[in-house]
Chain A
Amino acid sequence: MTKFTKLKSSTAIAVLGGCGLAGAYYAASHLLLSGQAAAVFPALGAIAIAGTVPSFLMSMSAARQCRDTRFTMGQRLDAFGKHACINVVDDKDKLVEVNEKLLKLTGYDRDELIGQPVTYLYNDIEKEVAAEIRHSLRRGQSWEGETRLRRKDGRVVFTQSTIMPLFDSAGKWAGSISVRTDISRTNELIAERHTAQTLYELRDDIWIIDSDTETFSYLNRSAEKRFSTSSSGYRGRSLLEVDHIGYTTEVLKTCREMRANGKAVTRLETVLLDTPVDVSIKFLHGTEGSGRFLILITDISEPVEQEKHKADFISTVSHELRSPLTSIKGAMGLLLSKSAGELPDKAISLLEIAHRNADRLVLIINDILDLDKITNGGMEIELKDVDLAALIKETDQANAMLQQRFGVKVQLTGIDLPVPLSTDPNRFIQVLTNLLSNAYKFSKPGSTITIEVKDEDTNVGVFVTDEGHGIPQDEQHKIFSRFSDMANSDRALKGGTGLGLNICQAIIENMGGTIGFESTEGRGTTFYFHLPKVSPQRKNTVEDLAASTA
Chain B
Amino acid sequence: MIKLLHVEDDADIREIAMMALELSGEFEILQCSSGSEAIAKARAFAPDVFLLDMMMPGMTGRETLDQMRQDPMLASIPAIFMTARAQHSEIEELLMNGAAKVISKPFDPMALPDQIKQAIQKTDTTK
The residue on A at minimum CB distance from B16 is A330
| A residues less than 8 Å from B89 (CB atoms) | 380
The residue on A at minimum CB distance from B17 is A330
Q: How far, in whole Å, are A329 and B104 apart by their CA atoms in the complex?
A: 13
Q: How far, in whole Å, are A339 and B12 apart by their CA atoms in the complex?
A: 16
B16 CB to closest chain A CB, in angstroms?
Answer: 4
Instruction: Judge whether A334 and B106 touch: CB under 8 Å.
Output: no
Given A319-B55, A380-B89, A326 and B106 touching (CB < 8 A)?
Answer: yes
Q: How far, in whole Å, are A327 and B109 apart by their CA atoms in the complex?
A: 10
Instruction: Judge whether A319 and B84 touch: CB under 8 Å.
Output: yes
Q: How far, in whole Å, are A315 and B88 apart by their CA atoms in the complex?
A: 13
Instruction: Judge whether A323 and B108 touch: CB under 8 Å.
Output: no
A318 within 8 A of B: yes
B2 within 8 A of A: no
Name the one of A319, A327, A362, A366 contacting B16, with C-beta atoms under 8 angstroms. Answer: A327
Interface string of A239-271 (1 = CB under 8 A from B): 000000000000000000000000000000000
Instruction: Judge whether A323 and B84 touch: CB under 8 Å.
Output: yes
Instruction: Judge whether B85 and A326 touch: CB under 8 Å.
Output: no
Q: How far, in whole Å, are A331 and B110 apart by their CA atoms in the complex?
A: 10
Interface string of B54-81 (1 = CB under 8 A from A): 0100000000000000000000000000
The residue on B at minimum CB distance from A319 is B84
Instruction: Judge whether A330 and B85 touch: CB under 8 Å.
Output: no
- Interface of A (DSSP majority class): helix
Instruction: Judge whether A334 and B19 touch: CB under 8 Å.
Output: yes
A382 within 8 A of B: yes
Q: How far, in whole Å, are A172 and B6 apart by their CA atoms in the complex?
A: 106
Interface string of A325-339 (1 = CB under 8 A from B): 111111101100101
Q: How far, in whole Å, are A326 and B85 apart by their CA atoms in the complex?
A: 12
Name the one of A323, A325, A330, A382 contacting B109, with C-beta atoms under 8 angstroms. Answer: A330
Name the one of A315, A322, A358 contacting B105, with C-beta atoms under 8 angstroms. Answer: A322
Given A330-B109, A334-B110, A323 and B13 touching (CB < 8 A)?
Answer: yes
B10 within 8 A of A: yes
| B residues less than 8 Å from A358 (CB atoms) | 106
| B residues less than 8 Å from A328 (CB atoms) | 106
Q: How far, in whole Å, are A333 and B109 apart by their CA atoms in the complex?
A: 7
Interface residues on A, range: 20 to 34
Given A315-B85, A322-B84, A323-B13, A329 and B20 touching (CB < 8 A)?
Answer: no
A426 within 8 A of B: yes
Q: How far, in whole Å, are A328 and B107 apart by their CA atoms in the complex?
A: 11
Given A319-B55, A380-B89, A325 and B19 touching (CB < 8 A)?
Answer: no
Q: How far, in whole Å, are A315 and B10 apart by their CA atoms in the complex?
A: 18
Given A318-B85, A326-B84, A334 and B16 touching (CB < 8 A)?
Answer: yes
Instruction: Judge whether B19 and A426 touch: CB under 8 Å.
Output: no
Q: How far, in whole Å, are A319 and B84 apart by their CA atoms in the complex?
A: 5
A463 CB to closest chain B CB, in angstroms?
Answer: 27
B126 within 8 A of A: no
Specify which of A326, A328, A380 lies most central, judged by the most chain B CB atoms within 10 Å of its CB: A326
| B residues less than 8 Å from A334 (CB atoms) | 16, 19-20, 23, 109-110
B125 within 8 A of A: no
Q: How far, in whole Å, are A329 and B23 apart by their CA atoms in the complex?
A: 17
Instruction: Judge whether A333 and B108 touch: CB under 8 Å.
Output: yes
Instruction: Judge whether A326 and B110 touch: CB under 8 Å.
Output: no
Instruction: Judge whether B55 and A362 touch: CB under 8 Å.
Output: no
Name the one of A315, A330, A380, A382 contacting B106, with C-beta atoms under 8 angstroms. Answer: A330
| A residues less than 8 Å from B107 (CB atoms) | 326, 330
B87 within 8 A of A: yes
A510 CB to closest chain B CB, in angstroms?
Answer: 13
| B residues less than 8 Å from A382 (CB atoms) | 88, 92
A497 CB to closest chain B CB, in angstroms?
Answer: 16
Name the one of B19, B88, B105 contacting A326, with C-beta atoms under 8 angstroms. Answer: B105
Instruction: Judge whether A323 and B105 touch: CB under 8 Å.
Output: yes
The residue on B at minimum CB distance from A315 is B85
Name the one of A315, A339, A366, A380 contacting B19, with C-beta atoms under 8 angstroms. Answer: A339
Instruction: Judge whether A331 and B85 touch: CB under 8 Å.
Output: no
Interface residues of A in 317-355 (CB under 8 A from B): 318-319, 322-331, 333-334, 337, 339
Instruction: Judge whether A362 and B20 touch: CB under 8 Å.
Output: no
CB pairs A–B below 8 angstroms (18 shown) = A318-B85, A319-B85, A322-B84, A322-B105, A323-B10, A326-B13, A326-B105, A330-B17, A333-B108, A333-B109, A333-B110, A334-B19, A334-B20, A337-B109, A337-B110, A339-B19, A380-B88, A382-B92
- Write the residues of chain A forming the contact surface with B, with a CB cutoff of 8 angstroms: 315, 318-319, 322-331, 333-334, 337, 339, 358, 362, 366, 380, 382, 426
| Known interface pairs A325-B105, A362-B106; 13 further A-B residue pairs with C-beta atoms within 8 A, sorted by A's residue number | A318-B84, A322-B106, A323-B10, A323-B84, A326-B10, A326-B84, A330-B109, A333-B108, A334-B110, A339-B110, A366-B86, A382-B88, A382-B92
Q: Which 10 pairs between the two chains have the least Cβ-Cβ distance?
A: A330-B16, A322-B84, A327-B12, A326-B106, A319-B84, A329-B106, A326-B105, A330-B109, A325-B106, A322-B105
